[in-house]
Structure 1
């Protein structure tokens, strides 16, 4: 026996009746927690996309660049710079778990899925994961949403309770 290990109990943890997760079983809490993690990853990937788009535009934005000649190229640069701005707004909405953030995330994920026509497999995977997370867990968005930290804590508690119950049964 390890004297430094956490104390163990053979009884499963009781679920608090006042908890917002009292009506959910372990599998539902697990799905919500993993989808919440997926949404955070999607937001980070959108921020990475902003950086990549801006870096790809740097050569065109040099003062002596020939890419800015003509009105159509200026319109292209302005249009291309609006995409990172919308991605930034979408990322903020996803991090804050707002309803409009969910809508923007769905729009950008659909656009990512449609990039399969350009054989962009990474965009397809990101888009599918985002759509799966957004459509599968609307309760993660809006004013009465489940917060990520609360989900994480509940998931860890229930996982420990399941582990302890499994150990008790094996004895």
Structure 2
């Protein structure tokens, strides 16, 4: 995997955060890797593992170097919805940086190559309010809120406020619902 390193800051908007990211694309060795497992006839699969798992050459691996967590993303959709789906622990600048990567891919026909990543600016300014700590999106939050509502412990307004505090919009919920119905 070829890695490219990027930084993001929010200093132009008066912020103090500094994000450090590794962005990678699978290389030829990863695309040729085949499983050593065998089927009932003792045969190994003729198909590369990454392809059998649904990954494509358009997928980017994006790791937050402060938290050590990352995921594979397919640029082009909603960075916020994708981040909610993966539920990784990230710095406050991760979502805006991911959205910036998605925009770079859109400008290049929906895909970023190693050459594209090498040519992109290594320092990106994003307009995000500062925060003292990172966060983990998604997870049990929604089910916990639904349970609290069902128990009469929260109103719908309380739930909306809590979701907003976690950066989850009504659009994010609609996207999650559509994905869940499709699975």
TM-score interval (norm. to shorter): under 0.3
Q: Which has the higher contact order (CA 8 A, sep 6+)?
A: 1
**Structure with the bigger percentage of strand:** 2
Q: Which has the larger radius of gyration?
A: 1
